[in-house]
Chains A and B, each alone.
Chain A
Amino acid sequence: MMETLLEVNGLKKHFPVSNPIPFKKSTQSVKAVDGVNFDVYQGETLGIVGESGCGKSTMARLVNQLIKPTDGSVIFKKQNLIDMPAEKLRQMRQKIQMVFQDPYASLDPRLKVGELIAEPLVIHQIGDRTSQKQRVEELLEIVGLNKRYADRYPHEFSGGQRQRINIARALTLNPELVICDEPVSALDVSVQAQVINLLNKLQQDFKLTYIFISHDLNVVRYMCDRIAVMYLGRIVEIGTFEEIYANPQHPYTKALFSAIPKESPFEEKERIILKGTVPSPLNPPSGCHFHERCPVAIDICKTKEPKMITKEKIHQTSCHLAD
């Protein structure tokens, strides 16, 4: 078995909602992430899929401690990041980097590309001016950009190029884990393919581990070794892609896969169209969160939260009917 790089146990994040009555304490909270467990192995790509609002991005931010969890632990290289002293956390964070979705919003328009890429080095006080400049040029070449671009501003670049700059920036400190939060969703198909190829090449060259968040199941199918399907703050199914794709156990996963658009005009597709919309995480349904929209729900689903059941060594699901 591969070595475990990251271990997430019982992770929860509840955002308090302000009470409409002034000066009263808030009593309600949005349960954005509600008890999530998973492992990430060294060198793999774990895909996280689910609809908007299911807690994918909140979870990404919890993993690298951009926000503090309500409960649970995040163990990276055998050390718990929660309750770690600030200075030590800063050191650990060098090894966990992030690439964000919107390449237009995630680069400071007033910094030159060279300054943007060197910023992590400046913050962590690594090297002097000359060595930083060298590193920037090296990184630009790694991501397939001309090293002269260091003196230009972000607005001079196209979306795909900006995403390359973002990737270069994430690689500055030689991370081990890179969290990609919808890195290609904002790009055109032909450019998307270029960026995906780049991410794959970098993974091999630098032995990176990816957590890859996306709602595009085709991209996830191509990129990921294992996937976790999230619904309303919980993981409902986790395992290798082939296994889940061939043999989905959870009714939500089945519906999600059946919604992938056709690959050709000749394909006939059996669609499971879900009723209604995702319920509010403010008042999630009792028992199994999915029971209100589930086409096969039985009585127990309304009252009892299903546990994770291991179907195969490589495939776990939380559904009462999967037994």
Chain B
Amino acid sequence: MSDPLLKVDNLHVEFKTGSIITRAVNGVTFELNEQENIGIVGESGSGKSVTATSILQLIPSPPAKVANGAIYFKGKNLLKLSSKEMRKIRGNEISMIFQDPSTSLNPVFTVGNQLIETIRAHKKVSKKQAKQKAISLLDLVGIPAPDKRIDMYPHEFSGGMRQRVMIAIALACDPEVLIADEPTTALDVTVQAQILNLMKELQERLGMSIIMITHDLGVVWETCDKLLVMYAGRVVESASVKDLYQQPLHPYTWGLLDSQISEGQNSAEPLASIPGSPPDLSYEIKGCPFVERCPYAQDICYQETPQLNETIQGHAVACHFQTSEHQLERKEREYSDGDAT
């Protein structure tokens, strides 16, 4: 197999505010191959978005700082590039869709303007050609009457339509990697179904790789091949989606899967949940970050931080008790309506 298209290697990102250092990302490593869909899931504050924005270097610095690690795209370390070189990649070879379609478009320019701006920033084409391309892009993402809609302002579009415009802008330069940061969280279910369908269809047609960041496992089952589960700025488990669903290994993943409401469950039986809340990342974490909430925790978990190790082919987990020699027995679901803190 050839080199991966994108490789994030031991990435550490920290935010410095005053004398407090918050370690938002603590050693994230993953690879993205061509035409592959990777999902990243985790609770708020687990470092999903910081990882993604670090790839494109969109995080404000200061306060943010990449403390360690490397990001290779086609063999080049993106962190070593000059800002001019980076600009050639950003929006061109790697592009991004953001969560909130209503705040990520500029309200004082027409959508056509914003599309043409992106195209002309990266390609030497005339205004007329750029406009033609913009119209065909709007058509591609399923906006009716694109030749009229191109002269409209973002406020004249609905949420779902705005997200389509965002996708059109992201696709303007035929990117090889598309980073989608919670692309459907702000949308209704019926619109979410439309957008996910569209993304799948476009991927088949254009052959790009997608990094899908979400907290909704339903979206992952729908679209991804591989899944990274993040907790407290670390990847705690990574596997193919099917493996992870059939044989999850990390206790946090178990909790996450158990908290999903499944068909046939009703309010007579309480929902499983993970007691407590994630650790504060502005303190040094000793041992496993999940230890306080883990029902299987033992002495070693407080002392040593487990590393992400491949236990089965293609399935890695960061847990002291999940190795190829030794495995944990999964307990019954935990129920809680209380607050541990």
List residues of A whose CB falls within 8 A of some B CB. Answer: 45, 51-52, 144-145, 158-161, 164, 188-194, 196-198, 200-201, 215-219, 221-223, 255-256, 258-267, 271, 273-274, 276-278
Contact = CB atoms under 8 A, between A and B. Distances in A.
B339 A223 contact: no
Given A218-B261, A265-B241, A190 B337 contact: no
5 contacts: A190-B273, A194-B336, A255-B190, A259-B189, A278-B158
B337 A197 contact: yes
Nearest to A186: B44
Contacts of B272: 193
Contacts, number: 124
Given A191-B277, A261-B219, A265-B245, 7 more contacts: A159-B44, A160-B277, A197-B273, A259-B190, A261-B192, A261-B221, A264-B221
A190 B190 contact: no
B263 interface: yes
A223 B242 contact: no
A216 B275 CA distance: 22
Contacts of B217: 189
Interface string B240-274: 01100100000000011001111101110011111
A144 B335 CA distance: 14
B158 to A, nearest CB: 5
Q: Which of B192, B215, B266 has the most CB of A within 10 A?
A: B266
Nearest to A196: B271
Contacts of B259: 189-190, 192-193
Contact of A164 (B218, B220, B339): B339
Contacts of B274: 190
B121 interface: no
Contacts of B197: 271, 273
Nearest to B220: A265
B228 to A, nearest CB: 15
A200 B270 contact: yes
8 cross-chain pairs, A with B, having the tightest CB-CB distances, nearest first: A261-B218, A193-B273, A197-B337, A193-B271, A259-B193, A190-B274, A51-B188, A144-B338
Contacts of A215: 188-189
Given A192-B259, A215-B188, A266 B242 contact: yes
Contacts of B193: 258-259, 271, 273
B191 A51 contact: yes
A277 B191 contact: yes
B220 to A, nearest CB: 8
Interface of B: 43-44, 144, 158-161, 188-194, 197, 215-222, 241-242, 245, 255-256, 259-263, 265-267, 270-275, 277, 335-339, 341
A197 B188 contact: no
Contacts of A264: 221, 245
Nearest to B252: A190
Contact of B271 (A161, A197, A273): A197
B133 to A, nearest CB: 25
B270 A262 contact: no
Contacts of A159: 44
Contacts of A263: 218, 221, 260, 262-263
B242 A222 contact: no
Contacts of B256: 189-190
A223 B241 contact: no
A265 B43 contact: no
B278 to A, nearest CB: 9
B210 to A, nearest CB: 16
Contacts of A255: 190
Given A219-B261, A265-B241, A265-B245, A197 B194 contact: no
A196 B335 CA distance: 11
A255 B191 CA distance: 11
B194 A273 contact: yes
Contacts of B188: 51-52, 215
A191 B267 CA distance: 16
Contacts of B266: 222
